[in-house]
A and B are shown apart, each in its own frame.
Chain A
Amino acid sequence: MINVAANVPATSGEFAELVSEHLDELVTYAAHLVGDADSAVELAAAGIFHAAKYPPARIGVDGTAALYRAVTRACRTGERFPPRPHGPARLWRRSRASLQTEFRGGDVASRMNTVKRALMTLPFERRAALLLRNLARLRYPEIARALECSPEAASRQLAAARRQFSSVYREIAI
């Protein structure tokens, strides 16, 4: 039986509410994933922009994972919104104004504490898996969608990330 409701595209208002609900977590996730709170808003905005362009059919079910997947992609590729110029134009200031968004706590996300230092030594995918589980509290299927892999691979990534994080943290922490 065809699920007709699944093919109904989500409204922008519905998606905006979802984004508004998870915006703090998305920006925090991006900040810790790339280790740069200054770029977190731009990266998260790029992901949200992409996710809004191609919204999931079941926004109530897949919306969160789609958002995190888009933000993870943006962090992986360095895509920003508004896009930054390429070439020598990067040497001077961006012509387009950046997002006029103020956020608090960015300095905290930028600071280097022990957990963050240990986290930054992990590979990108493992770091993302750890953050998606421990920071965003996603379930394994959602982590798999965010990382664009199978749930088994996500669980393996997470276990390996924990293993590596434990080793590094044990070495650098007192």
Chain B
Amino acid sequence: MKCSLLALSSYLDDELEPGRRAEIEAHLVGCERCRKGLECLREETERFGALGRVHVPDDAVNGFLQQLGLLGPGDTLPPRAPRPPDPPGPELPRWRGGGGAAETLPWSARHDPQPPPAPPESDQPSLPFVDVFSPSGVTVMAASSEQPPEDYELQLNGRSVPASPAPQSPEAVPGAPEPPAPDPWSHGSVALEGFGAWATVHPVRVTPSGLEEATSEASGIDGPTLGAAGDEPLAPKAAVVEATGIEAGAPATTPEPVVIPEDILPPPPLAPAWPASVAPPVHPPPPPPPPAEPLPASAPLRPQPPPTRLGDQSWLDSGSFAPRVRASDDEGDPWSWAPRDDPVPPQFRTHPAPGFSTDPLGSVPGGAGAPPGRSPGAEVASDGDAADADATPDPLIDPLIARVAGPPQPVRATLISRLRDQVSLRLALMRSADGDDGRTPGTGPGWGHTASPPESAGLLTAALRARMDPPVEMEAPAAPPTSGGLPTRGGHDTDRLAASPWSEAPLFESAAIAEATAPRVRDLDRGPGKPGRHTRQLGDHRWIGPSAGKLDSAPGRFGDLPYRLSRLARQFRRRYIVLAMLAILALLVVTVSLVVNHIGAPTPLPLAANTGASSRAVPLASGTPALQPVTALQPSASVAPSAAPTVSATPVPTPVPTPVVATQSFGSGGSGWTVEDVRYGTQTNGDLWIVLDFSGGSGEPRATASFSDPTTLDVTLTGAGESGLSPGTGGIVTKAVATSSGSTVKMVFDLSKAVTLKNGSYTPQDKSNPYPLHLILDLG
């Protein structure tokens, strides 16, 4: 059988036939590679438990279905089955707190069969945080107003800490014998000064991934969320609330602080004061600690390094911590043999971190499923020898911690130190990436780089990459630092770093390292202004949700303008601003168009009063014998193109504009008619009808209408006469004169305004009039 990812995937999902399944099981016995690959697939399946789950409340389901039309207004559904619990612990890998693939690690969480106690308030939104890490995640709950419970405890790797009085501070009694080194975990309750004032560490389970994710969520952290007694006051409340998604209630009472014994504390910070850019603590500083007592000689657990911060890089040259580089990126990849149809984009390719591998399978001697950097052999056996075991350097974890946190020393695997280191790392990276810490642009190491931080990679990954890449530079450390104790690496401007207020007083050495090297990592990951395809997707996605816009402006063609516009439009109160802007824009366009039309429009022509009924009537010069035989009542359209040459025998060099006059003819040419009457009638559309009544003839007398001037209408009737006709006035006709000569009658109408002759027609007799023929001239 050939190794097949498809077969392994189907095998993992139990979707194979029994025969094929047995075949694969037989293959797995002898194929190490497939076994690793199968474990890797299992881990990936388990990782999906870290995805958040959405829960629609029961009371909202009915309304939801009613809106969809699936339920009537009065219909109700039976109550839903209780929400299934999160995957049990054994389904998770052991390094996530379950009993899965890998061995239990000393600092991993112990699966507690007892579910975590309910939060003190039922409406506490503890679900998000529990969802991320449950059932073995960190649960930080707000302290209730009453006295904190007595049995709160800190569980770490099976070290159940029963409630007990807090260990007394190591008050030095003169003459008394040195007390033995206390085992902190066997003694009891742990509270953190400055931390317990507003929050209670309810059963705390820490997993590496959970910790990484917890800190990765806190994109807006302004300070570390956890600290140890003796440090400066710890994180602002809002930071942890944002990190955990839990609103911490205002405590009415302050739990009695219990001092963590000195031997489990992380090393005192080399720069105890917070930088000025860090938000001030909410709570007053704790009382000054009791006078320090030298540690007993029997517990030399933490040799303090010389206060050179990172100036002395000699520890980097030690053999056990010297960086090493994997041969290739595919080393340890369980799928290196499989065809890579989807190669990892360049921005996701990381340089291997020396001393440990991000590959969960390949380079961890603990075997499949083990988290990077800890072998099961280094596991702490029991509660009794916890202190000794913690003091023993772990070959996999301690190099990691040492490279992140400082010079090599037997770092105790304590919760506080790990949390503090990781949070400080992320804080430093976020600050260097955001540049929103109040620094003046151009003074910090995060400025001057247009590239965005590598959101495709975890910040801690970036820090480690920054710390360990390129290996050539690490192997050849530069000259000793000149200012600020910061590491001097090739190409870095130490003066610029020293000028940064952040770099003057870094929280920890790791923070200084990360800050000093973060821009270089960004440049290595992708060039400025060249986000990759997947990076673009991530960047686009980052605009949605609560983390939108937290890091920096998303790359885009128009920057963040589209986002800001859409966000502005989505806001209810501001939509009117958009509407007002659109209205102003429309008004401006209309105004401009009106102005342009007014300026560009030609001068209005004089009123073409006598141009005929329609555009078909072409103006003629007055006196032009252009009468055409008209058979219809419609105005004649056949006219001479130009009258001027025909009128004058000699060509006129400069044509004189002649009055525009039209001549229209009506009637086919009857005879024997007598004009009996002239009537005027104003129509509803404002036109004036001049009606000539005829009697006693045949056919239709030929009528020719023309305007001698714009307000004078001449009508000549051929084949008709008149007998004492005296036409009156009406409408716009101010004067009417009728003269006859033989069989021709000429009538002149003086008009009060210039009009056109729209139409003219003969109509037969109607009932209301005794005359058999009428000529109607429509003037309008």
Contacts and interface: CB of A to CB of B under 8 A. Distances in A.
Contacts of A12: 70-71
Interface in B7-54: 8-10, 13, 15, 40-41, 44-45, 47-48, 50-54
Contacts of A101: 56, 60, 63-64, 67
Interface centre among A114, A117, A166 (most CB of B within 10 A): A166
Contacts of B81: 21
Interface string A97-110: 00111111111111
Given A109-B52, A162-B44, A104 B348 contact: no
Given A120-B537, A172-B461, A114 B60 contact: no
B492 interface: no
A115 interface: yes
Contacts of A102: 56-57, 60
A108 B127 contact: yes
Nearest to B550: A112
Interface stretch (A1-9, A27-35, A71-79): A27-35
A20 B333 contact: no
A160 B65 CA distance: 36
B465 to A, nearest CB: 10
Contacts of A31: 52, 54
Contacts of A162: 5, 9, 41, 44
A72 B63 CA distance: 23
Nearest to A27: B54
Contacts of B464: 174
B69 interface: yes
Given A24-B54, A24-B55, A170-B359, A112 B127 contact: no
A45 B68 contact: yes
A86 interface: no
A58 interface: no
Interface in B394-424: none
Contacts of A148: none
B578 A92 contact: yes
Interface in B62-95: 63-65, 67-71, 75, 77-78, 80-81, 83
Interface in B125-159: 125, 127-128, 131-132
A173 B83 CA distance: 30
Interface in A70-99: 81, 90-93, 99
Interface residues of B, number: 89
Interface stretch (B229-237, B336-344, B644-652): B336-344
B217 A113 contact: yes
B589 interface: no
A155 B7 CA distance: 9
Given A99-B64, A167-B335, A168-B344, A108 B547 contact: no
A121 interface: yes
B564 interface: no
| Chief secondary structure at chain A's binding surface | helix
A107 B55 contact: no
B76 to A, nearest CB: 10
Nearest to A130: B48
A15 B70 contact: yes
Nearest to A88: B582
A57 interface: no
A135 B358 CA distance: 25
B51 A81 contact: no
18 contacts: A12-B70, A16-B70, A17-B78, A31-B52, A36-B545, A49-B69, A91-B575, A92-B575, A92-B578, A101-B56, A104-B127, A105-B128, A113-B50, A116-B51, A117-B538, A139-B13, A166-B40, A173-B209
Closest 6 CB pairs of A and B: A108-B52, A110-B545, A171-B348, A134-B48, A159-B9, A92-B575
Interface of B: 5-6, 8-10, 13, 15, 40-41, 44-45, 47-48, 50-57, 60-61, 63-65, 67-71, 75, 77-78, 80-81, 83, 125, 127-128, 131-132, 209, 212-213, 216-217, 245, 333-335, 338, 340-345, 348-350, 358-360, 372, 455-458, 460-461, 464, 534, 537-538, 541-542, 544-547, 565-566, 569-570, 572, 575, 578-579
Interface of A: 12-13, 15-17, 19-21, 23-24, 27-28, 31-32, 35-38, 40-41, 45, 48-49, 52, 81, 90-93, 99-117, 119-121, 130-131, 133-135, 139-140, 155-156, 158-160, 162-174
